[in-house]
Amino acid sequence: MAHHVYRFGAGKADGRGDQTDLLGGKGANLAEMTALGIPVPPGFTITTDVCNYARNNQGAYPAKLKEQVEGALARVSEITGDGFGDREKPLLVSVRSGAPASMPGMMDTVLNLGLNDETVLGLADSTGDPRFAYDCYRRFVAMYGDVVMGVGAASEHDESPFSRILDEKKRDRGVELDSELSAEDLKSVVTAYKIEILREREVSFPEDPMAQLWGAIAAVFRSWDTPRARAYRRMYNISDALGTAVNVQAMVFGNLGEDSATGVAFTRDPSTGAKGVYGEFLLNAQGEDVVAGTRTPEPVEMLKARMPAAYDELLTVCERLERHFKDMQDLEFTIQRGTLWLLQTRRGKRTGAAMVRIAVDMAQEGLIGERVAIRRVDPERLSEVMHPRIDDERRPQLLTKGLPASPGAAIGRVVFTASEAEEWAQRGEQVILVRTETSPEDIQGMNAAAGILTSRGGMTSHAAVVARGMGKCCIVGAGEVRVDAPRGRLVVGDTVVQKGDTLTLDGTSGEVLLGTASLIPAQMTGEFETLMGWVDEVRRLRVRTNADTPADARTARAFGAEGIGLCRTEHMFFQPERIREVRRMILADSEDARRRALEAILPMQRDDFLEIFREMDGLPVTVRLLDPPLHEFLPHSSQDIADVASDLGVRPEDLAAAVSALREENPMLGHRGCRLAMSYPEIYETQAKAIASAAAEAVREGVTVIPEVMVPLVAVAEELQIVRERIIDVIEETFAAENVKIAYLVGTMIELPRACVVGDKIAQHADFFSFGTNDLTQTTYGLSRDDASRFLPGYIERGVLARDPFVALDREGVGALIRMAVEKGRGVKTKLKIGICGEHGGEASSVEFCHVEGFDYVSCSPFRVPVARLAAARAALRGEARAK
């Protein structure tokens, strides 16, 4: 018989902690904790297989499920001594989702299930607290009505009818708080809820506990496929095919008086990674109150004074769990009349900084090995460690302070709804999303925002958990802030901040600042350096940087860059004192005139290269020769044309005509890259001369120079052959004149599909290939990155593309062409040096691709260098693992 149901309780469990795929994360860990002898309320898990069976069979279940659920429920009764539907000692259960991958807050939960007009009396009797019993009952009916029966679903953004009824009752009774309502009041609220359900859904609230249970199970399964759950999975690359498990577990109550509590705890600080239990709790409350952030909870240390035995037990459990799972745990607990119960444990989400510190600390504690530590750090999260921070000496005016929920700094314009955040971000604005509190509906707006600010909620509120997961700066519970979303403003005391005004968030201190702060770069922690040391021992791929200026080169070298993989030269043409000569060059009607203009730029370019060579002493520097179409250097508006014409001393009509003649329908596919050099060889000749001459000067200064000259946009081997020959001639002439000998390479950027297809021919004229994956992706897809925003997000949303191919290299399409080029290129030149210099060079999955395909190096922006180093090491480890 297939096992659809896995039981746990009283120290025994059918399942194990490694059965995450089958039992979900929560179910597997409940089983594991039970088996470890940790106090867990008994219950059972319905497998993800059942979820997927139901999804594929119009909601029908496997034949044996009913029998197995009933058997498991009987076992829970046996352990607790309570009966499901029993009028005297009713067993109440929670029904929760539990997917193989964590999706906090994304799916549905029903608590206190099993209550009806009869069992509520039993609960009142057995607890001796009728008010508590009716409070449980009204919570259950509201939750069931909402989650299972869909009441109020149509009016998603308005107040729920259940809240409205409760508020009316409080108004009737002239009270402010729920706790001031009597058992009788709550009983009448329950009745009003049931009327509302019947009115809206035309179905009665089910009094039969068994019917309640099956309803809740179905609702949890269904919640796997809600749009918001799908969107979340898309964002975190979680497969829709996993399905969720359902956990049915005996209820314990944190709201049975002042000797009861509920809380969450992390075995280490999820924000900094510091050792020591970290968490918070609410006295006399149910778990949903903590997560929802409606009451601001107390730090877990306060428990020591209030319930020392329970606190000590909590610390012991934390230590056992961490040692057992060998990772920082995020756990939910409830104290029912002094007794500690664990409701959940899972790998704790953490900031990038905490990720690094915890991994390194645990390795140094001997809990895990160094290689495991490397695998514990997600390269994409590493960039958070390098977040810039706010320059304290020029700190803008403080507006208010909240809880520092997720570190880093964010500067942006204030918006008040998730959809505004998305819209503004899409048109390129940095925004700060300000909400009273966030809800799962806000996920996409949070993702679009640079930072998040809430006026309510604690360090484990929805906003805080999600923002940390995203590595996004976040401040929560800024209680002074009055959010007035309808009027598009927030108010702190006398200060009014309008929608569109700029705020700076300091996620490390919790400070909210008025206006724009200036930022200073991050400083690396000791743990970071330790980790990077381990990383460098493991990786095979070299990591270079894309840097156009000496400052970038310096930053990147500090981050461990082992050379420059892409030094673009166009910026050298754009600088104010040079652009005039560049324009003269473009407008020249003879080679001579062009050469004269270029000669004027030469000394400045040579100085640029010299400074970069100095910064990169001893490391290779790949210089890409001029790439953009020439019209990019010309003015376009008529005012600019008039100004430039007067500056150059030409007639505006003539300049306008030249601008118009150079205009291109598709500049991306136009007269650029080496095509320019084919038309105007003197451009690359001047650049080659500047490089060679700077190299000679650097060598005289004692600097070790390793220049690599890169020719862009080659489609045909003959282009490279012709252009390379001229470059080599010029470099050799210059070296001869300067009386130096310096080894150098001349290679090409592979960024067109045709170049991949004829990689063997091109390799004959190239010392190296560097894949320009930005343009290669554009041409392979026939997709202009500038124009893709109108539909590409929709493609990812709908799963037509798994990921944005401009972010993560498309292995199936672009990757296949790259593989072809590598095979063909190395086929004729075994030692051909191969790298990547598109933005993918700093993205982890793309770095892994480069490792697998035998690249020599990746090159990425300075701040991504550590990310790439780590990704390279992880790729090497995965390679070793596969090889075994």
Residues acting as catalytic residues: 462, 837
Minimum CB separation from its own copies for residue 584, in Å? 19
Judged by CB under 8 A, the stretch of 79-87, 377-385, 612-620, 663-671 that binds its own copies is 663-671
Q: What are phi and psi of 389, to 5 degrees?
A: -125, 170
HEC string of 649-690?
Answer: CCCHHHHHHHHHHHCCCCHHHCCCCHHHHHHCHHHHHHHHHH
Q: Is 807 in the site for its own copies (CB under 8 A)?
A: no
- Tell me whether residue 175 or residue 757 sits nearer to its own copies (CB atom): 757
116: which DSSP letter?
-
Pairing of strands 857-860, 542-546: parallel
Strand partners, 110: 95
Asked if 812 interacts with its own copies (CB under 8 A), we say yes
Rank residues 153 and 800 by Cβ distance to its own copies and give the closer one. 800
Nearer to its own copies, 742 or 808 (CB): 808
Q: Is 816 in the site for its own copies (CB under 8 A)?
A: yes
Determine if 759 is a binding residue for its own copies (CB under 8 A): no
In whole angstroms, the minimum distance from the beta carbon of 722 to its own copies comes to 7
User: 820: part of which helix (H) or strand (E)?
Assistant: helix 816-828
Q: Which is nearer to its own copies, 311 or 424 (CB)?
A: 424
> Which amino acid appears at position 484 of this protein?
D
Under the criterion CB under 8 A, does residue 494 sit at the interface with its own copies? no
Q: Is 704 in the site for its own copies (CB under 8 A)?
A: no
Of 123, 111, 125, 132, nearest in space to 41 by CA: 111
Which residue type sits at 434?
Answer: V
Kind and range of the H or E element at 825?
A: helix 816-828
Reference 683, options 625, 622, 738; nearest CA is 625
What residues have CB less than 8 Å from 645, skipping those under 6 apart? 651, 652, 654, 655
Of the residues 394, 790, 831, 884, which one makes contact with its own copies according to CB under 8 A: 790
Binding mask 318-347 for its own copies (x = CB under 8 A): ------------------------------
Asked if 758 interacts with its own copies (CB under 8 A), we say yes
Question: Is residue 588 near its own copies by the rule CB under 8 A?
Answer: no
Looking at the Cβ atoms of 214 and 795, the one nearer to its own copies is: 795
- In angstroms, give the least distance from the CB of 228 to its own copies: 22
C-alpha 733/C-alpha 343 separation (Å) is 76
Establish if 793 lies at the interface with its own copies (CB under 8 A). no
Please list the alpha-helical segments (H only) found in 81-182.
119-127, 130-147, 161-173
Q: How far is the CB of 223 from its own copies (least distance, A)?
A: 25
Is residue 234 within the footprint of its own copies (CB under 8 A)? no
Query: Counting contacts by CB under 8 A, is residue 827 touching its own copies?
Result: no
Three-state secondary structure string covering 279-299: EEEEECCCHHHHHHCCCCCEE
Restricted to residues 738-757, the positions that interact with its own copies (CB under 8 A) are 751-754, 757
Identify which of residues 480 and 804 has a Cβ nearer to its own copies in the complex: 804
Task: Work out whether the CA dihedral 747, 748, 753, 754 comes out positive or negative.
Answer: negative
Minimal distance, residue 779 CB to its own copies, in Å: 5
When binding is defined by CB under 8 A, the residue of 302, 783, 852, 877 that contacts its own copies is: 783
Q: Which of 21, 131, 781, 796 binds its own copies (CB under 8 A)?
A: 781
Residue 387, φ and ψ in degrees, nearest 5? -55, 140
Token pair for residue 603?
């000394």
* Residue 597 CB coordination number (10 Å): 21
Stretch of 222-230, 700-708, 773-781, 859-867 contacting its own copies, by CB under 8 A = 773-781
**CB closer to its own copies out of 260 and 779:** 779
User: Is 787 an interacting residue with respect to its own copies (CB under 8 A)?
Assistant: yes
Mark residue 280 as left, alpha or beta (left: phi above 0; alpha: psi -120 to 50; beta: remaining).
beta
775 binds its own copies (CB under 8 A): yes
- What count of other Cβ atoms lies within 10 Å of the Cβ of residue 210? 15
CB atoms within 10 A of CB 506: 24
Which of the stretches 9-17, 198-206, 689-697, 791-799 binds its own copies when contact is defined by CB under 8 A?
A: 791-799
- Which parts of 407-480 are beta strand (E)? 409-415, 431-435, 451-454, 473-476
Residue 86 or 429 having the CB closest to its own copies: 429
Residue 656 touching its own copies (CB under 8 A):
no
Residue 337 or 663 having the CB closest to its own copies: 663
Q: Is 774 exposed, middle or buried (0-12, 13-18, 19+ CB in 10 A)?
A: middle
DSSP string, 197-211: HHHHHSSPPP--HHH
In the complex, the smallest distance separating the C-beta of residue 285 from its own copies, rounded to whole angstroms, is 46
Residues in contact with its own copies, total (CB under 8 A)?
48
Among 551, 558, 784, 827, the residue binding its own copies under the rule CB under 8 A is 784
Report, in Å, the least distance between residue 833 CB and its own copies.
23
341, 252 contact by CB (below 8 A): yes
Question: What is the identity of the amino acid at 574?
Answer: F
> Scanning residues 705 to 734, which ones bind its own copies (CB under 8 A)?
713, 715-716, 718-719, 722
**Per CB under 8 A, which region of 154-162, 230-238, 445-453, 785-793 contacts its own copies?**
785-793
Toward its own copies, which CB reaches closer, 178 or 797? Answer: 797
Rounded Cα distance, 860 and 876, in Å:
18
637 binds its own copies (CB under 8 A): no
- Judged by CB under 8 A, does residue 778 bind its own copies? yes
Nearer to its own copies, 523 or 764 (CB): 764
The contact mask relative to its own copies for 664-693 (x = CB under 8 A, - = no) is xxxxxxxx---x--xx--------------
- Alpha-helical (H) ranges within 427-525 are 443-448, 462-470
Alpha carbon separation from 283 to 133, 411, 476, 856 (Å, rounded): 17, 37, 21, 58
Minimum distance of its own copies from residue 663's CB (angstroms): 9
Find the binder of its own copies among 19, 68, 509, 780 (CB under 8 A). 780
Q: Are 382 and 356 in contact (CB under 8 A)?
A: yes
814 is a contact residue toward its own copies (CB under 8 A) = yes
* Footprint of its own copies (CB under 8 A): 664-671, 675, 678-679, 713, 715-716, 718-719, 722, 751-754, 757-758, 761, 775, 778-784, 786-787, 790-791, 794-795, 798-801, 810, 812-814, 816-817
